[in-house]
Amino acid sequence: MPAIPLITYILGGWDLAISGDLILQGVLFAQCAHYISLYIKNIQFLRVYVNILLIVTTLKSAQLLAILWLQNVVHFTDSAEAAGMVNTAWPAVYNIVFVALIAFYVQLFPCQRLWVISRNIYIVVLVAALFLFGLVASFMAVATRGNSEMARRGVRFFERNYATAYERSPVAIHLAIVFAGDLLLCANTTYFLLKRLKQVLPQTAGMLNAVVKLTFQSAAPAALCTLINLVCSQSGNISADANGWTMGSLISNSIMPKLYAISAMWVDAQLAQGHPARAKLECERADDEQRRGAERRGAEWAQADE
């Protein structure tokens, strides 16, 4: 394979992907610092969730920096070896698993919100099972990475297409299931919010409308990145030289977990500062109290009329 496509689309793709990850990690640091400093008395569950998220995303950036070191220092004089490190160096070999683990952890919080909103155990279990199956598929991708003909040729397998580092089927299953789970989670959350919109008092209706908007805003970036990753990883001809699909797969796969984390932190901040979403999580209690109050007042007026 010519050196220019390898350097441009694979090694250059890693450089751009890692740079994007570090930029998003900086955004995440700012979000976490803002959250921890302002919402120290917030719900304990959310505080623990945020702290763990900060730790795992920092470790993910450290893993990508290790890949950068291997590529630009250890294998500086051998571009083919640097491109093939995804089959020889563990930080690159298990990259897809690290991405899947962070995405799965982040998705647990929206699943918990769906349970609060819907109280439908079957829907929540189905969505959570999809995310879990997607995580398992990422391990399958790593386990089968050496089974393809391209992989058995050694480091040269990576000179063709990034997707050939793993068997295409597990990668496609992993990304497709994660994307489907995101859509199902967003659709069900919106459905139950709109369903409740018909049942609540007028004072609560505006809050629920804001939550519907928040749901789409928080889900869109990561879901779109997952879709791009799916398309790029499955596109192109594995017998052709590395190209833009290769670079797109590298970049989208690396920034995907950080987009999930940033979206989750943005939602947490809205909940913590009294965004309507927080009121939504307690709207059942508020509506019940208002109804009971109205019933009591009606009963008192009826007794007074008698």
Contacts with 84 (C-beta within 8 Å, 6 or more apart), sequence order = 154, 155, 156, 157, 158, 159
Helices (H) and strands (E) in the chain, counts: 13, 0
Residue 81: the pLDDT is 77
pLDDT given at position 89? 80
Longest CA pairwise span in the chain (Å): 96
d(CA 100, CA 177): 11
- What pLDDT sits at residue 241? 62
- CATH class, domain 3-293, is mainly alpha
- Listed by start position, the domains of the chain span 3-293
For residue range 1-59, list pLDDT tens digits in order: 455 677 778 888 889 999 999 999 999 999 888 888 876 666 677 788 888 999 999 99
Residue type, 82: A
Which residues fall within 8 angstroms of residue 31, CB to CB, at 6 or more apart? 262, 265, 266, 269
Over residues 238-267, the pLDDT tens digits come to: 545 677 787 888 899 899 999 999 988 887
Q: Identify the sign of the CA torsion 74, 158, 234, 242.
A: positive
Q: Give me the pLDDT at residue 287, please.
A: 53
Which residues in the chain land under pLDDT 70?
Answer: 1-4, 39-43, 145-168, 197-211, 236-241, 271-295, 297-306
What angle do helix axes 95-118 and 44-69 make, rounded to 10 degrees? 160
263 close to 109: Cβ distance less than 8 angstroms: no
